[in-house]
Amino acid sequence: MGVALARAAQWTAAGSGTGTLEITPLNESLLNQIIKFVEDFSARHPREAAFVFREPLEWKTRLGCSVFEEGYEINEATVQSEAKGKDGQPLLLLTASTLRVRSFDQLSCLLQIAMEEKLKEAQACLEANRDPIVKILGPEYGTVEGEDMFMLNLLDKVKKDDDPETEMKMKIFLLLHQLDLQLLNNSLKHISQDVRLNPAAINNEVNLLKNFSGKGEDTVLESLEYTSDYTFSNGCRAPPWRQVHGEICYLVIKPHDTDPLYVTCSTAGVFLNGGELKGKDDIDYERKSDVYKDIVTFLRERSPRFVESMSKQEYIFFKEPTYEKNYQHMEVVDPKVSGQSQNLYDFTEKNVCEKAKSSATRRRSIDKKKLEPSMKWKNTGLSASHSDKAAKKGTEEEGRSSTVSLQIKKKASGMSSESVKIQPASKCKTSGRFEDISESSSETEEDEEQPVRHQEGNTDLPSEYWGIQKLAKYLKGGNPTATVIALCSMKDFNLAQETCQLAIRDTGCLEVLINLLDTEEIKCQIGSLKILKEISQNTLIRHAIAYLGGLQIMVKILDSPDKVLKCLAAETIANVARFKEARRTVRQHGGIKRLVGLLECVSVGSISLTPYQAKDTEIARCGALALWSCSKSIKNKEAIRKAGGIPLLARWLKCSRANILTPVVGTLQECASEPSYRLAIRTEGMIENLVKNLSSDHEELQMHCASAIFKCAEDKETRDLVRQHGGLQPLSVLLGNSENKQLLAAVTGAIWKCAISGENVSKFREYKAIEALVGLLTDQPEEVLVNIVGALGECCQEPINRTIIRKCGGIPPLVKLLTRTDQALLVNVTKAVGACAREPENMMIIDRLDGVRLLWSLLKNPNPDVQASAAWAICPCIENAKDAGEMVRSFVGGLELIVNLLKSKNKEVLASVCAAITNIAKDEENLAVITDHGVIPLLSKLANTNNDKLRRHLAEAISHCCMWGSNRVTFGETKAVAPLVRYLKSNDPSVHRATAQALYQLSEDPNNCITMHENGVVKLLLAMVGSTDETLQEAAAGCIANIRRLALATEKAKYG
């Protein structure tokens, strides 16, 4: 084992240093073989398993004290085995998180206890004990490189000395040596098939896929981005502490038909990671899928649409080389894709002026070439892809971005027109992608970029562009009066027009406008902010303002006594703070506290306002707008709460003016994702005002109110308050507005969550909401369908509503939705179909529409939530089908599929599959088939669980599976009986009932009776014989009777 670990295993550090095992397929294979060897060691070599190690194997464990049960003594945070060595020391000792094991017997038991964590434990053990043979047998048995004469010397010693301990060590050493050879052979096979990736190969594949990505129907992907644009000298984009694990870079891939995929590219292959960690600028690096040889193979497994689109696009890879050549030519000319370290477009104004004519000619010729290719190339996104390379950048450290801002600001007066441009372009896409934002800010930013790139390649600029360029010199070099006049003249342009926005950026006016904010001239500050407020609607301008240090100055302006200045600063912050770095800057420079302070106003609730009060109200409105933008960040939500924002927002919620209510409710609905806010919204009496504003004439306000209720109604108290304040009726009425999809998504979401309470469902039935929901099941976006089906699933818990859905024709569209691919939709629709199947009439329709087959096919879905929901839905289908046994047998491979799901690591999947097996096993033929597929050992393996839901359904499955052949005996042989006895100590009565029934069936076998008696079942069952539950009474009494009969028969046979 030492040789295999030293030579074959892939470590993050060379030699025998303190490295860790890389998570690669090869290492995983080696670990699984070692685990199997240790697990079987006690059974195969009982004498050797009892051998006490020379030194204990010691490592940091993830296991807690609670997992150790029989055979161990637990004292607070310390666990020790009852088995002890000759020196009286326990063979297993757990102190805090340090575990020490001194025999193979204890190692084998530990791996069985660890269950799902056994791979992690084995990895931790081997990392902490790089040459375990030394600790097991002693230093003389250590792994030696080169010629090793130790084996011959040992043989001589065994021949001369008749020492049993030396002989035992020899046997163990030979067994470990045999394992070593096996591991090395398997690793050679693995390595021979392994093709390790490198940064260049990944970069080529990413660039190729980018060429065929975009919004068009003919594209293979919607987008594909690196999470970081910084490339190390070795070509990797992963941080150094991840490169030691073999990781090269991380991608965010957005297929057309699935949620965004967060992917790790490593030397071992491509796999799914855990995505971005909420509230942190980092990702969950843990592998969540199998490892694939490249990105295309990974996507073929994940996206059916990708496979379909790739088959259509294949001819483009080969048939139009002339356009590929033009594209390569543009890469050479365009500095954005050069590998140099200088800033992109970092030319001086002098150079730009000298070469204006020649570069314009060259650009025109390039643009002409770029526009020549056919529409096929345009649809695949190839013509714009070279700009994308510079326009996508991952999130950076705050210190780095602020340093760039300072550098830019210092040379603002002499900066080239192009040099500002690159900074905002570098982050515009990724910033929106990783942030949890409302509306779809990331999509908005991506859409805005397209005309910006088009404009840059256009030499025929309109007159407004040149007009602003003329004003630039007055703005830069004039006195205060000239500056004010220049600002007024600039304000007269149509600043909402993209040409004017880009002219301000390209002529270097943006830096000047930001510098003017740092003056003491109020008029200059006001004029500058009025322009910045308008042009900050543009994505690139927003980023440029943030990177040039504009936000820090605007935050300071919030302390100004001038009310107009405060309003303009807050509104501009609201526009700029639409991406992560900007929101972070506002928080870190004390902006949140200042913005919350703007909400303090005495005019709240006043019907008629004095001019002074009107100004205060306007300040509060602007402050609420800025807080709304900032609240899309988790840390900012907490900062708003700590700054006392909740009571102030609650006060403004009572006013009647929609222009301030909209940002106030928008902020609240953003923050309602946090439990602390949901509690505050309930306790501060805000639910009543949210319900009241559902009847507003403003659809945007209605949408945000419904969205806030959607998030808050996770809590039962809030659901009750919505009903008590009459909120269910306006929600039902708003279902009639099916044109506004955003409003409909929020309303259906609120109805879904409110319907979790049975009292609310009765009200919805009274308001005809169920019929309205059924009517909306067709021609709706998936985000709306998820909520509609979720609401119907909750309503279906009542029999009368299941009948209503059937009479309204709701079952066919529900069954049709089972063919969709959206994971959240599938979870909800399977729940709804399963609930409907409880009625025999509904079940007939579902069966006729082949709904059960569709449900069964969803068991193949890779998402555990979908698997579990589908399995739960199958249960009532089997219960209420006319010929359930024949129906189940008609699904080719269906029984084998559901049995194999017992190998899942997800507790909900296991519980649901056990429930399905309980129903399947009611048919004798089906029980025989699943027995042949190995259901008994798989059920037995699950017996050591502490999850009461799984315990209950597992016990029921075992009870029903006992009805065939020698299954009772097999359960005993596979050690399922003893763990079942422990289930009787649970606090859940349903677990007691199911367990007692299972034990009663198992007690028909004499050996099982002995096992039960040894584990103290009689005492536990005696207490349950007096239960008020008749089923539990009978099962407990029956089990005790069987045990007693066996005892009497044994006595009779013994004494005659």
CA 782 from centroid of its chain's CA atoms:
19
| pLDDT, mean of residues 433-456 | 36
pLDDT at residue 127 tops 70: yes
Q: What percent of the chain has pLDDT over 70?
A: 80
Name the burial class of residue 590, with classes exposed (0-12), middle (13-18) and buried (19+) by CB atoms within 10 angstroms of its CB: middle
pLDDT at residue 384 tops 50: no
- The residue ranking higher by pLDDT, 749 or 15, is 749
- The residue ranking higher by pLDDT, 1056 or 129, is 129
User: What pLDDT, in 10s, does the model give residues 78-119?
Assistant: 888 888 888 888 999 888 888 899 998 888 888 888 877 888
- The residue ranking higher by pLDDT, 878 or 192, is 878
What is residue 467's predicted lDDT score, i.e. its pLDDT?
83
- The residue ranking higher by pLDDT, 714 or 25, is 714
pLDDT at residue 350 tops 60: no
**Helical ranges in 672-757 per DSSP H:** 675-683, 686-692, 699-712, 716-724, 728-734, 741-754
User: What pLDDT, in 10s, does the model give residues 688-727?
Assistant: 999 999 998 899 999 999 999 999 998 899 999 999 999 9
What is residue 122's predicted lDDT score, i.e. its pLDDT?
87
Name the burial class of residue 866, with classes exposed (0-12), middle (13-18) and buried (19+) by CB atoms within 10 angstroms of its CB: buried
Contact 1020, 985 (CB under 8 A): yes
pLDDT at residue 961 tops 60: yes
According to DSSP, the β-strands at 72-75 and 78-81 are: antiparallel
User: What pLDDT, in 10s, does the model give residues 845-860?
Assistant: 999 999 999 999 999 9
Rounded to a whole number of angstroms, the distance between the first and last alpha carbons of the chain is 57
What is residue 354's predicted lDDT score, i.e. its pLDDT?
37
| Beta-carbon-side half-sphere exposure of residue 228 (alpha carbons within 13 Å) | 19
Instruction: Record the tokens describing residue 404, joined without a space.
Output: 């760039």
Average model confidence (pLDDT) across the chain? 79
- The residues near 340 (Cβ < 8 Å, ≥ 6 apart) are none
What is residue 195's predicted lDDT score, i.e. its pLDDT?
63
Give, in order, the Cα–Cα distances in Å from 853 to each of 285, 947, 967.
Answer: 37, 30, 29
pLDDT at residue 764 tops 50: yes
| Maximum average pLDDT range among 41-45, 324-328, 550-554 | 550-554
User: What pLDDT, in 10s, does the model give residues 860-871?
Assistant: 999 999 999 999
What is residue 313's predicted lDDT score, i.e. its pLDDT?
60
DSSP letters spanning 540-554 = HHHHHHHHTTHHHHH
- The residue ranking higher by pLDDT, 281 or 1009, is 1009
What is residue 301's predicted lDDT score, i.e. its pLDDT?
87
Residue in this structure with the two tokens 């649901």, named with its chain if needed: 912
pLDDT at residue 939 tops 90: yes
- The partner residues of 103 in beta bridges, in order of sequence, read 52
Contact 774, 805 (CB under 8 A): yes
Please tell me the least confidently modeled range out of 107-121, 889-903, 1029-1043.
107-121
What is residue 851's predicted lDDT score, i.e. its pLDDT?
92
Lateral strand order in the sheet of 98-103: 52-60, 98-103, 92-95, 78-81, 72-75
Element (H, E) at 261: strand 261-266
- The partner residues of 292 in beta bridges, in order of sequence, read 270
pLDDT at residue 460 tops 70: no
User: What pLDDT, in 10s, does the model give residues 981-991?
Assistant: 999 988 999 99
- The residue ranking higher by pLDDT, 1056 or 646, is 646
What is residue 403's predicted lDDT score, i.e. its pLDDT?
32
DSSP letters spanning 617-670 = HHHHHHHHHHHHHHTTSHHHHHHHHHTTHHHHHHHHTT---HHHHHHHHHHHHH
pLDDT at residue 768 tops 70: yes
pLDDT at residue 232 tops 60: yes
